[in-house]
Structure 1
Amino acid sequence: MSTLRARGTARGLPEWDRCAVMGVVNVTPDSFSDGGRWFDTTAAIKHGLELVATGADLVDVGGESTRPGATRVDEDEELRRVVPVVRGLAAEGVTVSVDTMRASVARRAVEAGAVLVNDVSGGLADPEMVPSVAAAEVAFVVMHWRGFSDNMNSLAVYDDVVAEVLAELRARLAAVIEGGVDPERIIVDPGLGFAKQAPHDLALVAHLADLRALGHPLLVAASRKRFLGHILAADGAPPPPARERDAATAAVSAIAAHEGAWAVRVHDVRATADAVRVARAVEGAL
């Protein structure tokens, strides 16, 4: 079986002939890399359209920061941030994903035009999420997750991170499917940076083939994350700021594309769009 066929896609989503590029629109004041830049609805919609113009295949809209240490926003505020942006982008023909842990926000976003629910908790944060996604018949990202952002660093304890993440994802996938979500609508995400230290993230990137063996399309979200900062930091120097990690992000995107990932989720689209196209061209030359 070729890498292209093995990559797959979730039912209800477009099919691309390569690893897709998911652009990020954070409608938040406090996200780790670009909080506040797109907090205004009009600015957020404009940014989403710019991401598409520079190579994004779909756009992920979120209204709640999940950076380490972040506290949650209330439901009404998350709805106020997210729904108008989803509606505006969907009206322009953009394939829209909603990044939320709340079933109510997911439902409203789907009504506004979202076709994918990207829940970093994989349905664990809100018991209504799985039945809501099942009823809506939309694609669903099941990410590896151990707890909320305010204490997830304390949960980054593993004897064998690859084996444990795989086991926990298998258990979560079984629960989501038992809860009524169509298995063909499920996408898997290893949760880089969530309850993981830099060596854990690197080990997971090195074993993307094991994650693909779970049998679902794979989303890799490494963009600007701490482990890249640790790699880039000179001896004794602090890691470079998040916005200076885009070349490193593109490198991971190329690796993920080569390993058969369905999509990569990134803040800066252009370099990654180039990277996945090069990976596809190399794949086609085999």
Structure 2
Amino acid sequence: MSSAPSGNKPRRFPLRLDQVAATPARPTSPRELLRPQAPLEHAARDRRQQSTPQGLGMDSRAVQRRMVERLYADGIRHQRLLEAFSAIPRHWFVDSALVNQAYEDTSLPIGLGQTISKPSVIGSMIELLCVRPGLTPETVHPLGHCLDIGTGCGYQAALLSVLSRRVVSVERLRDLHLKARANLDRLRRDMPHWQDVRLVYGDGMLGHPPNAPYDTIIAAAGGAAVPQPWIEQLAPGGRLVAPMEDPRTGHQVLTIIDRLPNGQLQQAVAGQVLFVPLKSGTT
């Protein structure tokens, strides 16, 4: 047992309340709050954001607008066509590793030895279809019923749909057909008023007889001659634009074939191009 305190020696502990002196609070500097570790999905999201190429985030519309301005400067004048290039996001149709080049005027690989064509080349070909005889600049759907040979990643088909009453697009490579379907599904989700495209897995050299005739036909591959089924499926007053080999030089040139209202054919060329070879069959 402890002994009681002796004399007048003050008690050290515990102190009574009246013995406690108030002390001024010491100023404290702000400190950064410690956070718990972010969930794994947040970390994955951060990694994706860090790997996104610069220039296609918040300002992707500005980058796309500059592409359209270049097309205009290069001579594309059809207003509805320029509106199509403004409406369809090209970076949705290229691989993520190439997305920062999506709005450059360059062709890009899309797999299986195929490419997405330069915007300027696509624009030139589509404009040739839009200015065929008998149309005015105010025509809402200048391409009418359109057949697209070689769907690829689906970008050209998406552009065509803005200018057409109906688009049928044929692809012979199954993996690309499926890739285009996935890309166009995104347009359906994110652009509710976008007009759908009918995608066909088949031999493009045969065209697509069930929906013939077509007011316009465009091809993204070139051969030695225009396949006869394409000509047979071209409607009177219709126009076909395709890269074909010039027998005199061996180079590819844009070939324009018009079927006149009386059924006769008229052919012209519009400059040298370079497209992947036109092949038959499916794979």
Choose 1 or 2 for highest CA Rg: 2
Higher helix proportion (structure 1 or 2): 1
**TM, length-normalised to structure 2:** 0.32
